[in-house]
Amino acid sequence: MAQSPDSGGRDTSRDGPGNVREFKMLTSYGPVWKLIQMQPGLDRIVNGKLIDRASSKMPYRPNPNSTFSAYTSWAALTDRTYWSRHLPAPEEVPTDLPDPEEVAKLFVREEGKFEASDKSTVLFSYFAQWFTDGFLRSDRADPPYYNKNDSNHEIDLMQIYGLTREVTEQLRQHDGGLLKFQMINGEEYPPYAYDAGGNKKPEFSRVPDAPTKLRPDFSPEELSKFFAVGSDTANLQLGFVLMNVLFFREHNRVARVLAGKYPGWDDDRLFETARNVLIVLLIKIVVEEYINHITPYHFGFRANPASFKNPPWYRPNWMSVEFNLVYRWHPLVPDSYRIAGEDVAIADTLYETESLTANGLGQLFEDASNQAAGRIGLFNTPSVLGPVQAWSVEKGRAVALAGYNDYRELCGYPRVTAFNQISGDPRVQKGLEQLYGTVDRIEFFTGLYSEDLRPNSVLPSLIGRMVGIDAFSQAFTNPLLAPRIFTEKTFSPAGMQVIQTTNTLSDILHRNIPDPNKRFVGMTRRDWKRRRG
Amino acid sequence: MAQSPDSGGRDTSRDGPGNVREFKMLTSYGPVWKLIQMQPGLDRIVNGKLIDRASSKMPYRPNPNSTFSAYTSWAALTDRTYWSRHLPAPEEVPTDLPDPEEVAKLFVREEGKFEASDKSTVLFSYFAQWFTDGFLRSDRADPPYYNKNDSNHEIDLMQIYGLTREVTEQLRQHDGGLLKFQMINGEEYPPYAYDAGGNKKPEFSRVPDAPTKLRPDFSPEELSKFFAVGSDTANLQLGFVLMNVLFFREHNRVARVLAGKYPGWDDDRLFETARNVLIVLLIKIVVEEYINHITPYHFGFRANPASFKNPPWYRPNWMSVEFNLVYRWHPLVPDSYRIAGEDVAIADTLYETESLTANGLGQLFEDASNQAAGRIGLFNTPSVLGPVQAWSVEKGRAVALAGYNDYRELCGYPRVTAFNQISGDPRVQKGLEQLYGTVDRIEFFTGLYSEDLRPNSVLPSLIGRMVGIDAFSQAFTNPLLAPRIFTEKTFSPAGMQVIQTTNTLSDILHRNIPDPNKRFVGMTRRDWKRRRG
């Protein structure tokens, strides 16, 4: 049985020699990579090549199949209210799979056994959940349609602007390009959507309602503190609230900058140009902070559209049902949140905005950056989120996904033949064996989270690869990055300067808080030391 | 003043040397082109290169502008209910343009002065109008929004299947993959949408209503003869009716073939697979019969997706407002139609289906193939359609299009500096001069139709080029032609065989009429002799 020093006892014989070589190349030779990045021309080319490579690990869109029909049909090729799928449903789906509740037990964290990620902070988990909510949008109808979504399939910052123009209109101040706002303790926030009596304000009639399907018993007092923001998840959990307020403030800040620079512009033009800038800022954060945090590589990816010339993966976006399951990172959630010096239970961070307005945005970003998130993998999901994992298993079955091994093959990994090729952890091996008997029966969702992390990686291998493909190939296709559109004409010279001087959430935060002191704000743990060379 | 032998007195000095060379190359050396087409490998490559070249005469999509806003905004990049635009609105739009009624006079045909095309038949005009109605769909609201459309932006045969799945559902038999049908005189037709009393049948509640906005006074008898078909133009004019019935019959024929071959398939699969086949058949007709009829070239284009490997124009479709105006070929309409041995006034071919059911599909296709269409250009639009031309002029102004010369430049033609560079016809030169004074003031729409035809061309130069760009770059992007989708799996082996054995409307017609005799059916006049060498 082949074992590498990093494998922690895992049999690495099915990792695939090409994959091992690539991983080694990208995680070794630190000084060489550094040198490359110091030369702008070379940096741009290597950036393009590596992203090209990452985006080409699966066949390119358009996919012949969606969740609309088991065969190729016109709706399956065009109706994006269904999910695209990377693999069609297998001819035969196993019928005797274990109870989803039993599978969920494999995910759940034992009482008091939180395993921290040695790399990621809570800020990373907040950002991941909030960012993906912008496009991985399961149909929230009741009963849920596992095969449907209400996504716009673009990074469009619907989190603050809403899914439709009707919502955007209601959120706009219609003056100076601004979003409607209120001031609380000297800081800028979106207005509340409900009045003190808990009634929705008529001006926000089209803004998503409080999620009364998830919790039907909001008091008027609770309702009256819900912000009017674009997404139906806007007030769901503190992380959403923080991110929404940050990007909301940046929108208004950019609009004011533009209004100062271009006094002839009307409200519409200021608003639209600020939005153009904001969407690209989000893409910059995604590539340059978020993805670079996730990967264990030396090379830092850049959101530089000039790196590409007509890549073959530049095809219309269409979120896949697999991407949706790849992105269920509930193990990131700690047992409780540390907020302004106090431990707050998960439940107490739901459906509330007052811990933010009381403490201010800077404090809460710093708190989230000082707390470690959980390690992604089995046996580390907070027990309160166990039912969500069972739901994910059910979803995978409802749309008849192919098995874990099929997706390995699709993504260029050899099929595994033994449980110890997935994880070196005997508990994982035993758990999988008891549930599935043989490796070929392991489901996609379970398999994804059963793999061991590799050194310095935030994600197991297959998740990492699939995130890379779907993220790169759907972020760089944003029309704002297209060659004829990524110009000063689109963003204004002032807007382009904002884009060029933004690389991290910290950059955005520090220009949107009253407190002049520099705070530690980051997705990577302050105490994380790269173990390299 | 430079003049070519073909120029009919036109000053050709502003044609552009590259354009002249290219035209000459493609219209000379007949035997060489013939040789190329006899070798499948070479034919495929040259086909790809030429289509690539034609599609690259303008900057590639995505366009930075739409009719949504005068600057780049998120909606302008994503909301396809607005038209895309190839050029933004100019900073300053001339305000003292001639009255649209006056401009329309330049288009209208003098009584008794019909000028026949020496190349095109009425069948060509029927097909052009019906085909483009599938995607160049101006918003038909009242009052009309010149900047909006209700297009799906794909060649999807909405003409027979409807714009939405709700309509498709009502048109389906839900048995054997068929569309609902009735038999009249031994031939298959769509059912009537209205009952004998002129009431819409409840089963067709979502099928478009009779165009009562265009003509409010339909009698119950007239209504009761309207076919239930996908588009709101379904019963507008005899040409629409003919084409709808042809493709409707072919759908049912293919569904029956598939049902015979694949007895295990359910209604849905038979329907969807037949539709997949039908859409590709339409694309084949468009490329291999329609476009080859339009061009004066020796090389015959093929709808062969294997000709392309990731071309740079392979970008999401978005119909442009210019394309819409490029495609207003009302001069094709003759003074009257010759149907079953009688001359029928244009007005009598509107809103009626009985000349078809009385004479049969074969007879009417033959009649349309035996009658010449009109020459495209000024002074040749039937006077009843004069108001439509005025409307086109108004539309161009409502969306503030750039001028004719600006579009010449965009498409690689030098700007003209004198009226006689546009046309050699003194009447055209004088008409333009009287209306516009200088060439730089000529509007896009007027300029398009003022150009002389070149030898063997159906279209003037700029229209020809713009049609080539928008047609190729939006037909070959059809998802059904994508590499992973254009396979037997998508169409079934039997369906793929139908695709491979179809090149012309004649092919489709002859397998869908009871009469076994071969009829002349074509877009090119039977008596048209290519003047070559």
Question: pLDDT for B13-26, tens place per residue?
Answer: 999 999 999 999 99
Task: Provide the shortest C-alpha distance from residue A304 to chain B (in Å).
Answer: 18
pLDDT at B516: 85
The proportion of chain B whose per-residue pLDDT surpasses 70, expressed as a percent, equals 97
Query: What mean pLDDT comes out for the span B276-280?
Result: 98
pLDDT at B4 over 60: no
**Other CB atoms closer than 10 Å to residue B113's CB: what's the count?**
10
The proportion of chain A whose per-residue pLDDT surpasses 70, expressed as a percent, equals 97
Query: What mean pLDDT comes out for the span A445-461?
Result: 95
**A337-360 pLDDT, tens digit each:** 999 999 999 999 999 999 999 999
pLDDT at A415 over 90: yes
Which of B:49-78 have CB within 8 Å of A? 59-60, 62-64, 69, 71-78
pLDDT at A215: 85
By the CB < 8 Å criterion, does A316 face chain B? yes
Closest Cα in chain A to B310: A312
Give the pLDDT band of residue A531 (cuts 50, 70, 90). very low
pLDDT at B139: 83
CB–CB contact B276 A74 (8 Å) = yes
pLDDT at A141 over 90: no
Nearest by CB to residue A72, choosing from B71, B315, B489, is B489
pLDDT at B3: 40
Task: Specify the residue for token string 């989190």.
Answer: A159
CB–CB contact A64 B275 (8 Å) = no
- Give A154's contacts in chain B (Cβ within 8 Å): 78
- Choose from B72, B278, B283 for mutation: most chain A CBs within 10 A: B72
Reference B457, options B21, B17, B8, B23; nearest CA is B23
Nearest by CB to residue B269, choosing from A71, A74, A484, is A71
CB–CB contact A74 B312 (8 Å) = no
pTM of the model: 0.95
Query: What mean pLDDT comes out for the span B241-247?
Result: 98
Query: What mean pLDDT comes out for the span A419-428?
Result: 97
pLDDT at B74: 97
pLDDT at B131 over 80: yes
pLDDT at A413: 97
- Give B75's contacts in chain A (Cβ within 8 Å): 165, 272
Nearest by CB to residue B272, choosing from A62, A74, A279, is A74
- Give A484's contacts in chain B (Cβ within 8 Å): 59-60, 62-64
CB–CB contact A156 B74 (8 Å) = yes
pLDDT at A530: 57
pLDDT at B532 over 70: no
pLDDT at A347: 94
Closest Cα in chain A to B275: A74
DSSP A359: H
Task: Specify the residue for token string 């029927």.
Answer: B126
By the CB < 8 Å criterion, does A89 face chain B? no
Task: Provide the shortest C-alpha distance from residue A322 to chain B (in Å).
Answer: 19
Q: What is the 3-state secondary structure (H, E, C) of A171-207?
A: HECCCCCCECCEEECCEEECCECECCCCCECHHHCCC
- Chain-centre distance for alpha carbon A235: 17
pLDDT at B473: 93
B298-309 burial, b at 16+ Cβ within 10 Å, e below that, comes to: bbbbbbbbebbe
Average pLDDT over chain A, rounded to an integer: 94
Task: Specify the residue for token string 């490796």.
Answer: A439
Evaluated on CA atoms B161, B152, B323, B477, the torsion sign reads negative
By the CB < 8 Å criterion, does A496 face chain B? no
Closest Cα in chain A to B278: A74
**B82-105 pLDDT, tens digit each:** 999 999 999 888 889 999 999 999
φ/ψ (deg, to 5) at A403: -80, 170
By the CB < 8 Å criterion, does A480 face chain B? yes
Give the pLDDT band of residue A1 (cuts 50, 70, 90). very low
CB–CB contact A482 B62 (8 Å) = yes
The one-letter amino acid code at A19 reads N
By the CB < 8 Å criterion, does A484 face chain B? yes
Alpha-carbon span A273 to A258, nearest angstrom: 8
Query: What mean pLDDT comes out for the span A9-22?
Result: 95
pLDDT at A39 over 60: yes
Which of A:295-314 have CB within 8 Å of B? 310, 312, 314
Give the pLDDT band of residue B530 (cuts 50, 70, 90). low
Cα torsion through B4, B6, B12, B16, rounded to 10:
-100
pLDDT at B521: 98
State the burial class of residue A514 (Cβ atoms within 10 Å of its Cβ: 0-12, 13-18, 19+): exposed
pLDDT at A4 over 60: no
3-state helix, strand, coil in chain A (%, to 5): 45, 10, 45
CB A521 within 8 A of CB A123: yes
Q: What tokens were used for B227?
A: 């076919």
By the CB < 8 Å criterion, does B276 face chain A? yes
Reference A190, options A176, A209, A211, A204; nearest CA is A204
CB B244 within 8 A of CB B216: no
The one-letter amino acid code at A24 reads K
pLDDT at B5 over 50: no
Give the pLDDT band of residue A216 (cuts 50, 70, 90). confident
CB–CB contact A490 B64 (8 Å) = yes
CB A285 within 8 A of CB A134: no
Give the pLDDT band of residue A211 (cuts 50, 70, 90). confident
3-state helix, strand, coil in chain B (%, to 5): 45, 10, 45
Give the pLDDT band of residue A142 (cuts 50, 70, 90). low
Task: Provide the shortest C-alpha distance from residue B224 to chain A (in Å).
Answer: 31
pLDDT at A470: 87
Closest Cα in chain B to A72: B490
Query: What mean pLDDT comes out for the span A296-308?
Result: 93
Cα torsion through B93, B99, B103, B108, rounded to 10:
150
Query: What mean pLDDT comes out for the span A303-313?
Result: 91
pLDDT at B494: 98
CB B365 within 8 A of CB B122: no
Between residues B323 and B532, the one the model is more confident about: B323
Reference B528, options B378, B372, B380, B375; nearest CA is B372
Average pLDDT over chain B, rounded to an integer: 94
As beta bridge partners, residue B121 has B372
Question: What is the maximum alpha-carbon separation in chain A?
Answer: 72
pLDDT at A490 over 50: yes
Task: Please give the radius of gyration of chain A, using alpha carbons only, rounded to the nearest integer.
Answer: 23
The one-letter amino acid code at B292 reads N
pLDDT at B192 over 70: yes
Which of B:149-208 have CB within 8 Å of A? 152, 154, 156, 161, 165
Alpha-carbon span A135 to B490, nearest angstrom: 28
pLDDT at B296 over 50: yes
pLDDT at B142: 64
CB A73 within 8 A of CB A326: no
Q: Could you tell me the domains of chain B? A: 5-191+227-510 (1.10.640.10)
CB–CB contact B74 A279 (8 Å) = yes
Alpha-carbon span B379 to B428, nearest angstrom: 9
Query: What mean pLDDT comes out for the span B277-291?
Result: 97
Query: What mean pLDDT comes out for the span A133-138?
Result: 94
CB B215 within 8 A of CB B351: yes
| Number of Cβ pairs < 8 A linking chain A and chain B | 100
